[in-house]
């Protein structure tokens, strides 16, 4: 591919990383978290990222979010370098981060309050989103009165309610039990099918990565770099409860797992 075509591809991407590296300086050494990272993400894609612990997955998200600057290379969002936090980029973490002094409805509506949306409109929109994820009737509950899965549903829709252009998700279902996790995967896919938001989803779970993603990005052991970028050829909508029976799932899982296992082994021997 020539340079002009490369530039055109990047210009069409919603988000791109070009030659990105990130180093952290400690008291007695430097740690290279990411190196030689090139990535294009297009509007409406659901991208999942897997890799061994400490391979730079969260660093990747923090660079996209503008929470830190790359040591080398450029991160571009909508064609412009990322130079700080942008409200068009939503970020959902493992922790629900709901405010304990606000009701669930007011937590979900809080981003709309920040931008001056009138109270009735933001409460109506919060109710609509809560109903959509099975939380109707819990609008006046406080976070401590809700289960972990319910709080994380609230956390997700608090980001979705203001319609960011891209949503970053850092292992949002990691702390949850298996049944709740699959239920939330199903909920997330249902929402994504209707909104077609652009999602970058970090996970340690290869099954989850394939079940959710349009593409699965595999990162190496530290220093992190992209070693695979696989398209998931499983038709949508998907049934996350039975996706493992799909022959395309088994084929892709086995292919990626060989390389993932090698990276995990390399990480363990560092």
Alpha helices in the chain (DSSP H): 3-12, 57-65, 104-114, 119-132, 148-160, 178-195, 206-212, 247-268
In total, how many domains does the chain have? Answer: 2
**124 and 76 share a domain?**
no
**84 and 122 share a domain?**
no
Domain of residue 243: give its range: 24-88+166-270
Angle at 39 between CA 34 and CA 40, to 5 degrees: 155
**267 and 196 share a domain?**
yes
Residue 227, SS3 per DSSP: strand
Nearest to 108 by CA among 124, 94, 85: 124
Each residue of 238-269: pLDDT tens digit?
999 999 999 999 999 999 999 998 887 766 56
**31 and 82 share a domain?**
yes
Domain boundary (124, 142, 163) is at 163
pTM of the model: 0.90
Each residue of 193-247: pLDDT tens digit?
988 899 999 999 999 999 999 999 999 988 889 999 999 999 999 999 999 999 9
């Amino acid at each position: 591919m020539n340079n002009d075509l490369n530039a055109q591809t990047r210009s069409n991407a919603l988000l791109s990383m070009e030659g990105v590296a990130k180093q952290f300086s400690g008291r007695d050494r430097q740690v290279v978290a990411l190196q030689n990272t090139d990535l294009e993400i297009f509007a409406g894609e659901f991208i999942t990222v897997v890799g061994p612990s400490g391979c730079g997955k969260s660093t990747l998200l923090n660079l996209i979010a503008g929470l830190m600057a790359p040591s080398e290379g450029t991160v571009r969002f909508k064609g412009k370098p990322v130079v700080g936090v942008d409200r068009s980029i939503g970020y959902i973490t493992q922790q629900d981060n709901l405010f304990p002094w606000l009701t669930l409805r007011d937590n979900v509506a809080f981003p709309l309050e920040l931008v001056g949306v009138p109270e009735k409109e933001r409460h109506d929109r919060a109710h609509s989103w809560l109903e959509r994820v099975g939380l109707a009737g819990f609008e006046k509950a406080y976070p401590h009165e809700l289960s972990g899965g319910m709080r994380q549903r609230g956390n997700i829709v608090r980001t979705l309610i203001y319609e960011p252009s891209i949503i970053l998700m850092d292992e949002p279902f990691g702390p949850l039990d298996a049944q709740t996790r699959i239920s939330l995967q199903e909920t997330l896919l249902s929402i994504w099918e209707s909104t077609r938001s652009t999602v970058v989803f970090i996970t340690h779970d290869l099954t989850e990565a394939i079940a959710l993603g349009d593409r699965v990005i595999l990162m190496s052991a530290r220093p992190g770099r992209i070693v695979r970028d696989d398209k998931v050829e499983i038709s949508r909508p998907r049934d996350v409860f039975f996706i493992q029976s799909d022959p395309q799932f088994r084929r892709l899982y086995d292919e990626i797992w060989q390389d993932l296992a090698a990276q995990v082994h390399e990480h363990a021997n560092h």
